Amino acid sequence: MSTGLFTKEAISDLLPELRGRVTYNAPLKNRSWFRVGGNAEILINPADTEDLAYILKTMPLEWPYFTIGATSNLLIRDGGLQGISFQLRKGFHEIIPDREGLVAGAACLDMTIAEYAAQLGLTGMEFLSGIPGSIGGAVKMNAGAHGSDIATIMDWAEILTRNGDLFRLSSSDLKLSYRHSVLPPDGIVTRVRLRGKPCNKDTIHKTMDEIKAQRENSQPIHSRTGGSTFRNPSPNISSYKAWELIDMVKGRGLIMGGAKVSEKHCNFLINTGEATAGDLENLGEELRKRVFNDFGIELEWEIKRIGIPYAQRENKYVG
């Protein structure tokens, strides 16, 4: 899979001051919630924001790169990722109380932030306890659940641009809307400021317990799965939610290779144990085809699919 550009010598020569961890031909399968996917040609865990800015400023503009978070909303294709892949970990986990709110690093899990806010006695962030993944990804897709979303609670997000400059942007700057934001091209969220309101801690924990129970009862959270597969159609297109459309085209329980549509919630795809990323993506496309053929509605992927497909029969990568 190597492009020939990203050798140890090339990285060391170009980025002598890099302080983070570099892994070559890094397996991503075990990092993925779906437990599928190929390797990353180069995986870099930057030490902190300054380290990431240094890398972005220094590496050639033509070098491709991806940023992967907790991978709860990613389907990494079987051919893996070419170029540089960033995964923010240590150095992006800090949470700092900030008046009636908090500032959280992009790698902080949504659940962790909800629990931290509860300990501070701040309400408004309980919905994060029902969203898998990290807050950086949540900002990028304006994640939401249980009647709230990131746009409702976010004051600003700090974002590194492709040339390594750091900007602080508001919800309106990012044009947050349903499962959508407008980040600067190739921008990477590094931290975010969220606001809450003082509230009794017991009340907050009760709400979070209710969210947990509802999620347990309605989603296949103990399976190898990700977040919701498809966005709900906008109300002016359909009054049906994505799962209802899938159910009506007999998608519930549908199997393709090692991939299966959850019978518990049919807007979730499951790796039954031996699925490839290709199985999961092809199953999703089959659902999209059925819904379009029956209803004329194009379901939009909410899960982001990245990387190179792998044509196993021909034993080669295809783009």
So which residues are the catalytic ones? 179, 228, 302
CB distance 264 to 218 below 8 Å: yes
First to last CA, the chain: 12
Distance CA 211, CA 234 (A): 24
Would you tell me the crossing angle of helices 110-120 and 201-218 to the nearest 10 degrees?
160
Q: Six-digit token pair at 188?
A: 């990477």
Sign of CA dihedral 154, 106, 73, 169: positive
Name 214's Cβ contacts closer than 8 Å, sequence gap at least 6. Answer: 130, 146
Each as own residue / partner, the long-range contacts of residues 23-31 (CB below 8 Å, 24 or more positions apart, any chain) are 25/1, 26/85, 28/68, 28/71, 28/76, 28/80, 28/81, 28/85, 29/76, 31/68, 31/71, 31/87
Contact 126, 144 (CB under 8 A): no
Determine the Cα–Cα distance for residues 28 and 36; give it in Å rounded to an integer: 8
